[in-house]
Structure 1
Amino acid sequence: MNKTRKKIIINEILYWKKARLLPEQYCDYLLALYSEGEEIEVKTRDGKNTFLRMLPYLAIAIIVIGAICLTNFTQLPFKMQIAISAAAALLLLLFVYLFSSRKPLMQVSLIGASLMILAATVDSVEGFAPKNNTVLYSSLLANCLVWWGFGRKLSLLYFTIAGILGTVVICFFLARIAFKF
């Protein structure tokens, strides 16, 4: 067999192994067979490519951490805090839309957006209805039900569990307020 044909076959087997189209032991056997015992050079990714792949994750982290720091550790008016949390949530929801084809990145964006929506909800309740636990618990319950819905619709187990557990805990506290026990 000529060298170019052998190289094409070996590259195809490496692709099968990487994409897990065949079990790993089959790919290893075929590689040993076609390479005739020679060492196979596997290309690795360079650092620049890895940095570019991690850049969206870094942007998400900066948005979430920046918004949390601006809303919790500064003396901004509560309307400004709500606006910052809402803007961060909208930006992260835009990331969810843009990265919907890249599942891990979409999930990280969705988690960040959920946290920012939760922060905006708590800030707005504290600003418009201070010390009113019923309104706070009701808005938190709405957030948990949305998480539960997203978890079911997108088949995200952690959102489903967070929604269910949050709903149970909040219903307990709402019952405690209603029945004063």
Structure 2
Amino acid sequence: MNMEKRDIILREIQYWRRTKLLSEQYCDFLTNLYDDEGMAKNQNPITLKNLQQGSIRIWLFAFGIISLILLIGFYFSVFPLGLQLATALSMLVVAYGYAGLLRDRMPAFSFSLAGIGGFLTLGFGLWIISLHELNEGIWIPVLVALCGLLWIALGFFLRIGLLHFSGFGALCLLYAGFADRLRPDAGVWELQLLWLPLCVLMIWLSWLLHHRLKGVSGVYFGVGALLWLMPEIDMVLLGKDYPGWMSLLLIGKIAVELAGLFLFRKKWIEWVTA
């Protein structure tokens, strides 16, 4: 069978498995039927069994990767700015690139690489800002904005929901910081007006896109559910003075959210699993 057609069929089987359209037994049977040759090629080589029985090349490769990371860590601070940026970009391209290439064959390893890439993006940025004593009030918000946009784009194209969600989380932090600068004395009800329209927007986008773009609707719905509680989270994280009854408001909003999720569970579960 043509490899491209086989991959399409296997992706559909995995979709049937996630959405419970077929039982686990049928999905396993179909996977073994269509992936008789591909399973051996696509197995994750980094397992305890494979390491125990593997060739010396695997261990030499691991030694080279670890040594390279340590060398970069030791000498990164003495590199000129141009070389620092080139080194950081090279490592990010490798991490995100392999996360995309291995997305279907080795999803767990792909997610790990995407997480490492996200950590490195933020870590290298903060390190460069600290080494060159750049204005933190300007460059840290710029870094957070770039990280958020990068994670949203990569999470969308690589179909990694957690990375996509993290991008929106970074932009929410940036929005909270700017709102605090513009309105440092904002009260509880003003914060509701700042955050709740965004909550409605993300829920609406989740509904709008659940038939058009697979894997995006669930992320937008999760962001919308988080934004429902962001006014209270905003006050706590930024250390604002809040009234004693805000805890009751938070409990009430959680109760309303859970009640809404229960009443409309058939609708939003369809969006999330689309």
TM-score w.r.t. length of structure 2:
0.38
The alpha-carbon distance between structure 1 residues 113 and 177, as it changes in their structure 2 partners (threshold 3 A), is same
Q: Structure 1: how far apart are the matches of 2:133 and 2:99? A: 31
Q: Structure 2: how far apart are the matches of 1:60 and 1:179? A: 51
- SS at 2:29 equivalent: coil
Q: Structure 2: how far apart are the matches of 1:93 and 1:127? A: 25
- SS at 2:167 equivalent: helix
Q: Could you give the per-residue CA deviations for residues 83-140 of structure 1, whole angstroms, max 9, x where no partner exists? A: 4433322332443355343222222222222322323333444456712413320221
- The answer to whether the 8 Å contact 2:114/2:163 transfers is no
- The answer to whether the 8 Å contact 1:78/1:123 transfers is no
* Range moving further from structure 2, 125-134 or 59-68: 59-68
Which amino acid counterpart does residue 164 of structure 1 have in structure 2?
F
Q: Do residues 89 (structure 1) and 92 (structure 2) align? A: yes
What is aligned with 1:115? 119
The alpha-carbon distance between structure 1 residues 127 and 69, as it changes in their structure 2 partners (threshold 3 A), is closer
What is aligned with 2:193? none
What is aligned with 1:49? 50
The alpha-carbon distance between structure 1 residues 155 and 114, as it changes in their structure 2 partners (threshold 3 A), is same
What is aligned with 1:41? none
Q: Which runs of 5+ in 1 are unaligned?
A: 1-15, 23-45
What is aligned with 2:157? 153
What is aligned with 1:38? none
Instruction: Give the drift of 1:63.
Output: 7.7
- The answer to whether the 8 Å contact 2:122/2:143 transfers is no
What is aligned with 1:99? 102
Please identify the structure whose Cα radius of gyration is greater: 1
What is aligned with 1:13? none
- The answer to whether the 8 Å contact 1:86/1:120 transfers is no
Aligned residues between the structures: 139
- The answer to whether the 8 Å contact 2:145/2:174 transfers is yes
RMSD: 4.2
* Range moving further from structure 2, 148-157 or 78-87: 78-87
Q: Structure 1: how far apart are the matches of 2:138 and 2:156? A: 27
Instruction: Give the drift of 1:168.
Output: 0.8
Q: Structure 2: how far apart are the matches of 1:162 and 1:110? A: 11
The alpha-carbon distance between structure 1 residues 157 and 78, as it changes in their structure 2 partners (threshold 3 A), is same
What is aligned with 1:143? 147
TM-score w.r.t. length of structure 1:
0.53
